[in-house]
Amino acid sequence: MQTAIKELLYKMGDDALILGHRNSEWTGIGPTLEEDIAFSSMAQDKLGHAWAAYTLLHEQFGEPSPDTLVFQRKAADWHCCQLVELPIGDYDFSLIRHFLYDHADALRYQALQQSSYTPLAQLATKIKGELKYHTLHADVWTKLLGNSSEEAKARLQNSLNKLFPYALGIFEPTEHEQTLIEQGVFVGEDAIKQQWLQAISAIIAQTSLQMPTNIQPIYGGRKGYHTEYLQPMLNEMTEVSALDPSAAW
C-alpha cells in the first residue's frame, strides 16, 4: 500500500507546486490590484500544499527532501496533470483553469478527510479551509464575467472549451489506485470526477456559458508525459539552485 499512497502524494504535491508557480506569474500584472493579490495569495497556498505533501513523502516514506523533489527533478519525473503546466495566457484562461482545478482539488481534500491513512486525513482537514476560499473566488468571478459582456462571455467559453479536456486529465487513474480504494485511503478518481462534474455544472448553469460535451480527456501527465511547457518552466524555476545543487541555503 505504501507505493499507492506515495503515488497519490506525488501527484497531489506536483499539481499544487506547478499550478502555484503558474499562478505566481500573475504577481504584478493582474487585471486589477485585487486580482493581483488574490492570485499571489492562492499561489502561496498551493506551494504550502505541495510542501506538506512532499514532507509526508520524506518523513513517512523516506523519499528525498522537499527541496530535492522540487529543484532536482526533470520533467519526466513529475506526476502533475498537463492542465497545470500550461502558460497563464490571458486572465480568462487562468480564471477558468483556476475554476476547474480548484473545484477538483477541494473535492479531493474533502474526501481525504475520511482517509484510513491518518496523516493524510489530518492534512486534508487542515487544508480544506483554504480551498473553500479558492473555490469561492473562482465561482464569484466565473459568474460575474460569465454574465457580463459578449466579449467576456466569448473569451470564457473559448477558454472553457480549450481547457476542459486538460481538466479531465486531473482524474487520470494511476496504477495502484484500486489499492487505495480497497484500503479506504481514497475514494478514487472516478468518484471525484463525478462530484466535480456536478459541482462545476451547477456554477456554469448560473452563467451564459455552456458545458462542453463529448470531450476526450488529455492524459499522460501522471505517467511522466508532459507538454512542451513544463521543462522550460522547471529550468526557470530552478535557475538559482542549479548553480550549486549541493549548496545549503
Mean pLDDT of the chain: 94
Domain total of the chain:
1
Render pLDDT for 11-47 as a digit per residue (tens, 0 to 9).
999 999 999 999 999 988 878 888 888 899 999 999 9
In a domain, 249, yes or no: no
Are the C-beta atoms of 75 and 18 separated by less than 8 Å? Answer: no
pLDDT for 43-101, tens place per residue? 999 999 999 999 999 999 999 999 999 999 999 999 999 999 999 999 999 999 999 99
195, 107 contact by CB (below 8 A):
yes
Give the pLDDT score at 242. Answer: 73
| Residue 9 three-state SS | helix
CB 8 within 8 A of CB 186: yes
Q: Which phi and psi angles does 227 have, rounded to 5°? A: -75, 170
Domain range for residue 221?
2-243
Q: Which of 47, 69, 37 is nearest to 245 (CA)?
A: 69
In Å, how far are 27, 88, 123, 141 from 119, measured between CA atoms?
Answer: 33, 33, 6, 34
Asked whether residue 248 is assigned to any structural domain, the reply reads: no
- The tally of CA atoms less than 13 A away on the side-chain side of residue 135 is 21
User: Is residue 45 one of the residues assigned to a domain?
Assistant: yes
Residue 247 has pLDDT above 70, yes or no: no
Other CB atoms within a 10 A radius of the CB of residue 57 amount to: 21
pLDDT computed for residue 29 by the predictor: 85
Residue 249: pLDDT band by 50, 70, 90 thresholds? Answer: low
**135 located within any domain:** yes
109 belongs to a structural domain: yes
Read off the pLDDT of residues 193-204 as tens digits, 9 standing for 90 and up. 999 999 999 999
For residue 183 the three cell numbers come to 484500503
Q: Is residue 48 part of a domain?
A: yes
Q: What is the mean pLDDT of residues 176-191?
A: 96
Neighbours of 38 (CB within 10 A): 20
Domain CATH code at residue 122: 1.20.1260.10
Q: What is the DSSP letter of 86?
A: S
pLDDT at 241 over 80: no
Q: Determine the Cα angle at 105 with ends 28 and 19, to 5°.
A: 35
What integer pLDDT is reported at residue 186 of this predicted model?
97
Is residue 244 predicted with pLDDT exceeding 80?
Answer: no
Which pLDDT does position 3 carry in this prediction? 95
The string of pLDDT tens digits covering residues 97-145 is: 999 999 999 999 999 999 999 999 999 999 988 999 999 999 999 999 9
DSSP secondary structure letter of residue 183 = T
Cell numbers at 191, concatenated: 468518484
189, 190, 192, 195 alpha-carbon torsion, rounded to 10°: 170
Q: How confident is the model at residue 245 (pLDDT cuts 50, 70, 90)?
A: confident
Q: For residue 144, count other CB atoms closer than 10 A to its CB.
A: 11
Residue 27 lies in a domain: yes
**Structural domain includes residue 107:** yes
